[in-house]
Amino acid sequence: MRPDQRMASIEEVAFGVFAERGYSASGLAEIAERAEVSKTLLYHYYPDGRPELMVAVMGGLAHDLLAATGQAVSAPVTAEARLTRFVEAFLGHFVERPEAFRLLFRDPWGSGDPAVVGRSVQTNVELSGQLIEPLARSGAPGAALVTSTQGVIGFLLAATELVLSGQVPPHQAVDASVRFLVAGMAGLDDLAR
């Protein structure tokens, strides 16, 4: 097997183990056994061990999420429509893949691993960056845009928690999120004046 194929296979197995057991309860020995490789080979590909492997898994999950949300905001429609599409894509992605939410946004903070936490933060910043362009048309100052887009992501993370815990149906979370965020966009217009 070529090295890139072997790494993809290991990361797929690691994803399954991390999703099943959680990052903190998962060990390299179990991943190596399920991937049918030695721990030595794991360390060959991931010299920093479990944190580096988790960051690789998170990178793939973030890529999938960012592809979905990026497509949502790329359509030539109004900023409000882009925001609506972004919310639908974000929540829809995690309704379909709740384990991705856990590994990207829940598990990192309890891991104690700076690289793992850093990858979660990076995903948050990348998502925020996708919203800058649609919201920039408001003419609001840059600091307000950065604060607002980070706030949108924080809001959506909280809404996703509510959906995944069964407290709020997905369609209601999308509707409430869009209404709240569109009202916030109107406030950005006021900052531009």
Q: How many CA atoms lie within 13 A of 44 on its CB side?
A: 11
Q: What is the pLDDT of residues 66-102, one digit of tens each?
A: 999 999 888 777 778 888 899 999 999 999 999 999 9
- CATH code of the region 56-192: 1.10.357.10
What is the pTM (predicted TM-score) of this model? 0.88
User: Where do the domains of the chain lie?
Assistant: 56-192
Q: What is the 3-state secondary structure (H, E, C) of 100-168?
A: HHHHHHHHHHHHCCHHHHHHHHHHHHHHHHHHHHHHHCCCCCHHHHHHHHHHHHHHHHHHHHHHHCCCC
40 has pLDDT over 70: yes
Angle at the Cα of 172 from the Cα atoms of 100 and 169, rounded to 5 degrees: 55
Closest C-alpha among 62, 117, 95 to residue 162? 95
Better-scored residue on pLDDT, 78 or 126: 126
Q: What is the pLDDT of residues 143-154, one digit of tens each?
A: 777 888 888 899
Mean residue pLDDT of the chain comes to: 89
